[in-house]
Structure 1
Amino acid sequence: MPTSIGLAAHLAVGQLERRGMDPAPLLARSGLSQAAVAKREHVKVKSVIDFLDRVSLAVKDEWLGLTMASDFDLREIGMLYYVAASSNRFGDALKRVERYVRIANEALVVRVVHGSGCRIRLSYVGVPRHVDRHLMETFAVTLLRLCRQLARRDVVPLSVSFAHHRPDGRKMQRALGCEVNFGAPEDAMDFDAGVMDLPLAGHDPYLGQLMVKACEVAIAARAARISPFRTEVENIIAIQLPHAEARAKAVARQLGLSERTFARRLAAEGLSFGDILDQLRRDLALRYLQEKRPASQIAWLIGFNQPSAFSHACRRWTGKSPLEFRRSSEMSLA
């Protein structure tokens, strides 16, 4: 199970404490140790994602990731900050982030793709993407802040995209200063190609050499984790659901497998495509119901052609209609 240095959990604890709220109960429900978070020890990324969801509800902040990422000292990122900050050019800093990001978070993959512009792709390994909103938004906002601080100028992306859905993304758009798309095929940030050549004011070749050596030792000591096959399948399905393309054949094609080989791989792990699809739909539906989205929109987002099909599935999952489940959830939070 991938782990991280727990910076997001640490920042979320701060959000609770500033409001006079005790973080201990929420940490415990998410399977996190208060001492481990306080000491910035490695904690499970999936537990951090769950904790951020709980904190978001507790403090009534739908944009918790944006809130947290907007004002903390970037040096709290640790080694990753210093190895990037000591680089010569902006493009060099991104290459170092791409290579060494797993020191801070084993689940996060950063890929820098060059073309007519520059695209920074963010993705997860070993963690289902569909369960998260706040942590990925924390990553994206933090990365943009890092870019601006290192270049000492207001670097503005051409666009930013997130794989998860938001009914209204204008707050994020105002914060980032560019077009922001939710429900996109991937999490990414697009920049003008010229940004890569920006010189960094903090360039220090001696510090950079020391930090690169230290980071190489760190990643050698902490071997990269391999994404479970189920997680790969879930992450593909989550993107395909709103387009009604979540079929075994389509997922197999995305994985580069024949449909027969795909079925064998699932069976070897005691899985079936139908069970994974149903569980994923359930997880997403319950999240969207808490966000007070219309049932018709939820039905579309999780790949049902009719709201009635979603209502039937909701009763099978929870024993309640969508409206009944939403009311019971609101009462439990009151």
Structure 2
Amino acid sequence: MRPTNYLVGPPLRARKPVNGWRPAPASREPTAAVYESAVTLVRLLLRHGVSEAEVEAVTGMSLERTRHPDARVPVSQIERLWQMAADRLNKPAIALELHHHYPENRLHFVAHLGMRCANMRSAIEHWRKYAFLVSEIDDVDYVVEGGTARFIYSCRDPRYTARWFAEHFLSLALWFAKSFTGHTLKLNGVRFMHAAPLNRIAHERTFQAPIEFSASENSISFDASYLDLPFRTADSYLHHFLVAKADELKAGLEQEARVENQVVAAISLLLTRGEEVTLDRVAELLKQSPRRLRQVLEAEGQRFRDLFDEVRREAAARYLVQGMSISQVAVLLGFSEPSALQHAFRRWYHTSPGDFRQQYARSGASLADVTPLPGPAGIPRRLTGGAHTQS
């Protein structure tokens, strides 16, 4: 079974005129909360002797803004922060262990809500419903097949998919399960979409289960009975009030979010399902008429066809430099065959997928800079100044 599908934000209001919509944020980019992962990464860098000015210069992030509990920043800044921490701290697998550096009880609001749930099943469903509070691009889910359950992390916006997010979420889920139930989950297997790192020791130590890389999803699998383990941190009284606050926060953020990002999430869902991506199908998922959706996108300066092409263009580059094969990328992005992807890639970047991957490896660029800022020859500009490190 699967929990309720909380796809994106609230349905678009068909009767409301375009010029009556709340103005979209100045930045097109989806945002993420800085609490607690980004705040902890900054703290570790400062302890290591990196100056605040350098952190701001490399990431583009204003550290003054991050001191507010409600602070949110563009996702690319979060990703550059992960890369900077991995490079400067010489910890390529930092995403697997960051939670060990969290101060006691310093967790995001959604984690506090989850720990007050009755059991793991309920906590995952709440995590999925309120994932938007953590980041516009993150999604979690679970499936049960026979006696086995899988906890799945996916990126709602393929333009920003990165190993840091997948590794952090899966290791965090494992840690939450142990902390909230008092039981260590014995995993049956772990799957990552990115290619295998040069050194797997940290992954093997973290999960203690067979690990598959270049897989079709990011997930951990375990005995389905774990889903009903009671939480020792459960508190129905606190849960009631935390849910009410979560609903309030979610409604506010969704009102501020760009419709473009909701459309991208719907495109991503259709690609994941292997369905044809059309304006009509996306409008159906967003419970809106195609005409109305087209109008709202145009008000944000977008056309559906161009946005779909952008999603596939930027996702293709990211998937390739993360080690996925051309065939795998073609399937993920809905191309009929690898040759169709190769043709599109040459149109986008004026080079072949294989040459692009080699140029990226030689450039030393950060994955956060692969898109959306391609350089003159199709290879990304190197913005961070830090060498790309692979664990």
TM-score of the superposed pair, with normalisation by structure 2: 0.63
Which has the larger displacement, 160-169 or 13-22? 160-169
Match of 1:158, SS? strand
Q: Deviations over 1:183-215 (max 9, x none)?
A: 332222322121123233333x4xx32333233
Code of the residue aligned with 1:200 in structure 2: it is F
Corresponding residue for 1:220? 248
- Cα offset, 1:9, TM superposition: 1.2
Match of 1:112, SS? strand
Q: Does 1:122 align with 2:153?
A: yes
Structure 2 CA distance for aligned equivalents of residues 301 and 193 of structure 1:
29
2:91 to 58, 61, 75: 61
Corresponding residue for 1:11? 40
Corresponding residue for 1:174? 205
Corresponding residue for 1:281? 316
Match of 2:350, SS? helix
Q: Deviations over 1:228-253 (max 9, x none)?
A: 4345546876x79xxxx9xxx85569
Query: Is the 8 Å Cα contact of residues 84 and 96 (structure 1) preserved in structure 2?
Result: yes
Q: Does 1:185 align with 2:226?
A: no
How has the CA–CA distance of structure 1 residues 144 and 169 changed in structure 2, closer, same or farther, with 3 Å as cutoff?
farther
- Cα offset, 1:33, TM superposition: 1.4
Corresponding residue for 2:60? 31
Query: Is the 8 Å Cα contact of residues 267 and 282 (structure 2) preserved in structure 1?
Result: no
Code of the residue aligned with 1:196 in structure 2: it is L
Q: Does 1:79 align with 2:114?
A: no
Match of 2:232, SS? coil
1:133 to 163, 167, 185: 163
- Cα offset, 1:115, TM superposition: 3.8
How has the CA–CA distance of structure 1 residues 107 and 325 changed in structure 2, closer, same or farther, with 3 Å as cutoff?
closer
Structure 2 CA distance for aligned equivalents of residues 202 and 275 of structure 1:
44
Structure 2 unaligned residues grouped into runs of 5+: 1-29, 284-289, 331-337, 366-381
1:168-317 pair list within 5 angstroms:
168=198, 170=200, 171-203=202-234, 205=235, 208-223=236-251, 225=254, 227-230=261-264, 232-233=266-267, 269-270=302-303, 271-272=305-306, 276-285=311-320, 287-288=321-322, 316=350
Match of 2:166, SS? helix
TM-score of the superposed pair, with normalisation by structure 1: 0.71
Structure 1 unaligned residues grouped into runs of 5+: none
- Cα offset, 1:314, TM superposition: 10
Report the number of matched residues. 311
Greater share of helix residues, 1 or 2?
1
Q: Deviations over 1:1-49 (max 9, x none)?
A: 3432432211211331232122433334433211222344321351212
Code of the residue aligned with 2:315 in structure 1: it is L
1:149 to 175, 179, 184: 179
Q: Deviations over 1:91-112 (max 9, x none)?
A: 3333333334433334322223
Query: Is the 8 Å Cα contact of residues 12 and 52 (structure 1) preserved in structure 2?
Result: yes
Query: Which structure is higher in RCO with an 8 Å CA cutoff and minimum separation 6?
Result: 2
Identity over aligned pairs, percent: 15
Query: Is the 8 Å Cα contact of residues 102 and 108 (structure 1) preserved in structure 2?
Result: yes
CA-based RMSD: 4.3
Corresponding residue for 1:329? 364
Structure 1 CA distance for aligned equivalents of residues 196 and 181 of structure 2:
30
Code of the residue aligned with 1:184 in structure 2: it is A
Code of the residue aligned with 2:237 in structure 1: it is Q
- Cα offset, 1:76, TM superposition: 1.6
Query: Is the 8 Å Cα contact of residues 77 and 104 (structure 1) preserved in structure 2?
Result: no
Structure 2 CA distance for aligned equivalents of residues 217 and 142 of structure 1:
23
Which has the larger displacement, 28-37 or 139-148? 28-37
